[in-house]
Amino acid sequence: MTRQTDSNRQNTLVSRRKFMTLAASASTASLAISAAGAGSGKDSKSGKNSRKASGFVDIIRPPDRVMAFTEEGFHELSRADTEKWTGTNLLVEVRPSNGELPISIEAPNTSLERVHLRWQSEAFPDDPLFLGDEWERGYGELEWRCRIADRVMPFYFLAYTGEHTSGYGVKTGPAAMCWWQVDDSGISLWLDVRSGGQGVLLGNRRLLAATVVTRRGEGESPFLAAQAFCRMLCETPRLPEWPVYGGNDWYYAYGKNTHEGIIKDSRIISEHASDARNRPYMIIDGGWNNRDAVPCWEHGNERFPDMPGLSAAMRNQGVRPGIHYRPLDATKADPISLCLPDDRFTMVMTRRHPVLDPSIPEVLERIGADIRRFVDWGYDLIKHDFSTVDIFGHWGYQMGSFLTADGWTFNDRSKTTAEIVTGLYRTIRHAAGKALIIGCNTIGHLCAGIFEIQRTGNDTSGKIWERTRKMGINTLAFRMAQHGTFFLCDADCVGLTRQIPWAMNKQWLQLLAESGTPLFVSASPAALGREQQNALKMAFAAAAKPQPLGEPLDWLHNTSPRMWRLHGRKVEFDWYGRDGAHPYCKAKKPTKDHKYGRPSPLEY
**383-430, pLDDT tens digit by residue?**
999 999 999 999 999 999 999 999 999 999 999 999 999 999 999 999
Say whether pLDDT at 31 is over 70: no
Q: What is the pLDDT of residues 249-294, one digit of tens each?
A: 999 999 999 999 999 999 999 999 999 999 999 999 999 998 777 7
SS3 113: strand
- Report the pLDDT value the prediction gives residue 321, as an integer from 0 to 100: 98
Q: Measured between alpha carbons, how far is 63 from 210 in angstroms, rounded to an integer?
A: 14
DSSP reduced 3-state for 316: helix
Distance of CA 275 to the CA centre of its chain: 31
Asked if 375 and 384 touch (Cβ cutoff 8 Å), the reply is no
Q: What angle do CA 87, 91, 92 make, to 5 degrees?
A: 120
| Cβ neighbours of residue 212 closer than 8 Å, sequence gap 6 or more | 59, 60, 100, 101, 102, 103, 168, 169, 170, 189
- Structure confidence at residue 9 (pLDDT): 42
Number of Cβ within a 10 Å radius of residue 484: 17
Every domain of the chain and the residues it spans? 6-233, 245-600
Look at 94-103, 202-211, 590-599 and tell me which has the smallest mean pLDDT. 590-599
Using a pLDDT cut of 90, give the percent of the chain over it.
Answer: 81
Cα-Cα-Cα-Cα torsion 161, 165, 170, 171, nearest 10 degrees, comes to 180
Report the DSSP pairing between strands 84-87 and 78-79.
Answer: antiparallel
Per DSSP, the residues of 383-401 read EE--HHHHHHSS-HHHHTT
**296-325 pLDDT, tens digit each:** 899 999 999 999 999 999 999 999 999 999
pLDDT per residue over 506-565, tens digit each?
999 999 999 999 999 999 999 999 999 999 999 999 999 999 999 999 999 999 999 999
102 backbone dihedrals φ, ψ, rounded to 5°: -70, 140
Measured between alpha carbons, how far is 603 from 589 in angstroms, rounded to an integer? 9
Pairing of strands 65-70, 111-120: antiparallel
Give the pLDDT score at 234: 98
> How sure is the predictor about 19, in pLDDT bands with cuts at 50, 70 and 90?
low
Phi-psi region of 540 (alpha: psi -120 to 50; beta: other; left: phi over 0): alpha
CA 330 – CA 355 distance, rounded (Å)? 5
478 and 456 Cβ atoms separated by less than 8 Å: no
Neighbouring CB atoms inside 10 A of 329's CB total: 23
Which residues face 455 on adjacent strands? 490
DSSP, residue by residue, 457-507: B----SS-HHHIIIIIIHHHHHHGGGBTTTBEEE---EEESTTS-HHHHHH
Residue 162 CA to residue 388 CA, distance in Å, equals: 36
pLDDT of 441 over the 80 cut: yes
d(Cα 286, Cα 326) in Å, to the nearest integer? 9
- pLDDT above 70 as % of the chain: 86
Half-sphere exposure of residue 272: CA atoms within 13 angstroms, side-chain side: 29
**CATH number for region 245-600:** 3.20.20.70
Q: What's the whole-number mean pLDDT along residues 449-477?
A: 97
* Cβ within 8 Å of residue 583, ≥6 positions away: none
516: nearest Cα among 482, 550, 490: 550
Are the C-beta atoms of 363 and 419 separated by less than 8 Å? no
Q: Using an 8 Å Cβ cutoff, are 118 and 77 in contact? A: no
- pTM of the entire structure? 0.90
How far, in Å, CA of 271 to CA of 482, rounded? 31
Contact 185, 120 (CB under 8 A): yes
- Mean pLDDT rounded to a whole number for the chain: 89
- Rounded Cα–Cα distance for residues 470 and 141 (Å): 8
Q: If 0-12 CB within 10 Å is exposed, 13-18 middle and 19+ buried, where does residue 375 land?
A: middle
At a CB cut-off of 8 Å and minimum separation 6, what does 579 contact? none
Of 520, 513, 507, 514, residue with least CA distance to 560? 507
Find the mean pLDDT for residues 222-243. Answer: 98
The mean pLDDT value for 99-124 works out to: 95
Contact between 141 and 560 under an 8 Å Cβ cutoff? The reply is no
Rounded CA separation 414/420 (Å): 10
Task: Tell me the C-alpha distance between 188 and 190, whole Å.
Answer: 6
- Are 563 and 554 contacting, i.e. CB atoms less than 8 angstroms apart? yes
- Given this model, what pLDDT does residue 290 score? 86
What pLDDT is recorded for position 17?
A: 55
* Cα 268 to Cα 409: distance, rounded to the nearest angstrom: 47
DSSP for 27-80? HHHHHHHHGGGTTTTB-TTT-SB---TT-----SS--SEEEEEETTEEEE-EE-
Cα separation, 504 vs 579, whole angstroms: 12
CA distance 448 to 238: 7
pLDDT at 515: 98
Handedness of CA 142, 147, 150, 154 (dihedral sign): positive
Output the pLDDT for position 596.
Answer: 34
Bridge partners for 160 per DSSP:
129, 165
pLDDT value of position 22: 57
Q: How many Å apart are CA 166 and CA 263, to the nearest integer?
A: 49
DSSP summary character for residue 194 = -
Pick from 328, 330, 327: which is nearest to 1 by CA? Answer: 330
Q: What is the mean pLDDT of residues 58-86?
A: 96
CA 229 – CA 361 distance, rounded (Å): 36
Tell how strand 200-201 and strand 206-215 pair up. unpaired
At 185, the amino acid letter reads S
What is the C-alpha to C-alpha distance for residues 239 and 151, in angstroms, rounded to an integer? Answer: 32
53-67, 337-351, 570-584: which has the minimum mean pLDDT? 337-351
What is the pLDDT at residue 23?
57
SS3 153: strand
